[in-house]
Structure 1
Amino acid sequence: MKSPHGADLCHCLAARRHARLLTRLYDRHLSAVGLTVSQFSTLALISQHPGILIAELAEVMVMERTTLVRALKPLQSEGYVTNRAEGPRSAIRLSVSAKGRTKLKEAEPHWEAAQREREDQIGEASAVLIRNSLLEEVVGK
């Protein structure tokens, strides 16, 4: 393998290119059920944390709150995500609706196929090592 040089030395550029590659792979599989990997991940996280505040979800996803609000709109308009305001400052709590849970269940085999394809590309051990390394920095395991 050639040593990186020029723009290829940039950690950020390398991570973004890799992210786009993975996004294409997962989106290809999930397109069969009309979801993107971002939508699938958002639904899965809300499902794991019913009643999560938008600000908390934005933190978990390492996203700007306003970006997350825009990303939630299609999920809400499809009826997959519900929200309720509570408290004096109208904090918004999110939950996955019954329709959203059905969509998530429908999408899971496609997500699993994307997982298998990625593991077939680089090996299961490498895929797990990379994922855990990335999560360690973000979640502080």
Structure 2
Amino acid sequence: MSSRTPNHEIVPLETTHYVRDHCLCLYAQRAARMLARRFDEALRPLGLTSGQFSLLMSLNRPLPPTLGSVAALLAMDRTTLTANLKPLERDGLIELRPDEKDRRARRLVLTERGRGLLFRAVPVWTATHRDIEAMLAAGGADRLRADLNALLGRDDGKDRS
């Protein structure tokens, strides 16, 4: 048996170039990695990653959210969310508490320490976000958000809770 791939199983280089130049998934992945690196670098002095900032921000509400609602907002499965919560809980930034009305559900509570860290992180996020938006053409950030939300099947992507 030959170790060479038969000619009929070879993807032409033109196809490789087409995918490289047109694949929305590839473009979204590359952009997401660049954005995460920029925010990670900016938030590093506070001991936060971009993902942790987003998670803490998702808890900043009048009524502490359920695990399921945060997982849905962040487009994470519950197992991944739980793994991401552990360091925040260990560091005293969040607490998991049973729901008072439904003891099977758990609510995620931003602690005083977590609120303080989030308060210090917001100006860092704001400056970084402003710099990134400035890289886009006028109106580009709003258009990008609208297009990404369209892919998610949402009107505006805003969680009203």
Q: Aligned residue pairs: how many?
A: 137
CA deviation digits over 1:14-39, x for unaligned, max 9?
21111001111111111121111110
CA distance in 1, matches of 2:145, 2:62: 21
Unmatched runs of 5 consecutive residues or more in structure 2: 1-16, 156-161
CA distance in 1, matches of 2:77, 2:144: 24
Match of 1:102 in 2: 116
The secondary structure found in structure 1 opposite 2:139 is helix
Unmatched runs of 5 consecutive residues or more in structure 1: none
Report how far residue 139 of structure 1 moved.
6.2
Alignment map for 1:1-141 (pairs within 5 Å):
5-48=18-61, 50-86=63-99, 87-88=102-103, 90-123=104-137, 125-138=139-152, 140-141=154-155
Tell me which moved more, 64-73 or 43-52: 43-52
> 1:50–1:94: 8 Å Cα contact kept in structure 2?
no
Report how far residue 133 of structure 1 moved.
2.2
CA distance in 1, matches of 2:131, 2:149: 20
Structure with the larger helix share: 1
Match of 2:5 in 1: none
- Greater relative contact order (CA < 8 Å, ≥ 6 in sequence): 1
Q: TM-score, normalised by structure 2?
A: 0.77
Report how far residue 136 of structure 1 moved.
3.9
Report how far residue 121 of structure 1 moved.
1.6
Find runs of 4+ consecutive structure 1 residues off by over 4 angstroms. none
Q: TM-score, normalised by structure 1?
A: 0.87
Report how far residue 49 of structure 1 moved.
5.9
> 1:46–1:95: 8 Å Cα contact kept in structure 2?
yes
CA 139–60 in structure 1, closer or farther in 2 if over 3 Å, else same:
farther
The secondary structure found in structure 2 opposite 1:38 is helix
Tell me which moved more, 74-83 or 125-134: 125-134
> 1:83–1:94: 8 Å Cα contact kept in structure 2?
yes
% identical aligned pairs: 34
> 1:82–1:96: 8 Å Cα contact kept in structure 2?
yes
The secondary structure found in structure 1 opposite 2:97 is strand
CA distance in 1, matches of 2:31, 2:118: 25
